[in-house]
Amino acid sequence: MKREELHKLLFETLCIIDDICKKENVRWFLDSGTELGSLREQDIIPWDDDMDIKVFREDYPAFCEAMRKHLPEYLHFIEPQDYSPAFYDFIPRIYDERYPLREETAEDRYYKNYQNRIGIDVFIFDVAPDSEFKRKMMKFRYKVIYGLGMSKRYQLKDEKYTGLQKLQVGVLRFLGKFTTTPKVCKMWEKASSKYQGQKTGWSYACNNAIDETCFYRSDLYEDTDYGIIKGRKFPVPAGYDEELTVHYGDWRKPPEDKDAFVHHADLEE
């Protein structure tokens, strides 16, 4: 399909999520490039081929229940443990079963084709400790748990690791063979929500890529503002400027190299 068709389908799914959350009074926000596009472009970023939203841990159970209750039959809400016995990552996803992103491969079948469908990723925001040292330890634990999950990946490209990193990854993958995907997911949930209920000044997306994990001041999310996508308003944090600056730097300036972004779909241009 063409990118414009993909954007239309993503937008329709986003509107369904928004309608459900309004109906059930569930708090959520746009996230990452989707949030940025709504504020800078007032639309989906022209070269983007997926969408991201965020939900805070305290709102996540209600979000899960609302999605499973109200999503139309062609949309499905999946969580990381649903890939079992495989492991992909810790990101819940709402996907449209009708539209593959690319020609199906053996790897897609291994992951039940969950990643080979048009969809929206859900990033869960948790409480982070005030101590910088404890935040570093959180990232370290996350890296260890993710390493255990790597034993259940279809394929791991070892060439991106250095000699010591290959050894570390190899050990974790070996140990991971003695556990299951649901257990790895439970370990991740326990570690990432360790400070839930505590009053700290920091929040973070507990299921973002490890190297992209950022910590944000919690008060950025106390109030809601709105971004615009195709003329419709969607919720963003009132502190979006600081949040996006922490994540992207000068987020108001479009990047020159659009091929630097990860592309998930094979599209006609």
pLDDT at 182: 97
201-234 pLDDT, tens digit per residue, is 999 999 988 888 999 999 999 999 999 999 999 9
For residue range 120-165, list pLDDT tens digits in order.
Answer: 999 999 999 999 999 999 999 999 999 999 999 998 766 566 777 7
**Cβ atoms of 215 and 204 closer than 8 Å:** yes
Kind of pairing, strands 51-56 and 119-128?
parallel
- Three-state secondary-structure class, residue 127: strand
φ, ψ for residue 217, nearest 5 deg: -65, 130
Residue 260, pLDDT > 60, answer no
Which sequence spans correspond to the domains of the chain? 3-260
Q: Average pLDDT, stretch 97-113?
A: 94
Q: What is the mean pLDDT of residues 224-248?
A: 97
Structural tokens at position 184: 């790895």
Q: What are 82-102's pLDDT values in tens digits?
A: 999 999 999 999 999 999 988
pLDDT at 261 over 60: no
Whether 206 contacts 90, CB under 8 Å: yes
* Whole-prediction pTM: 0.92
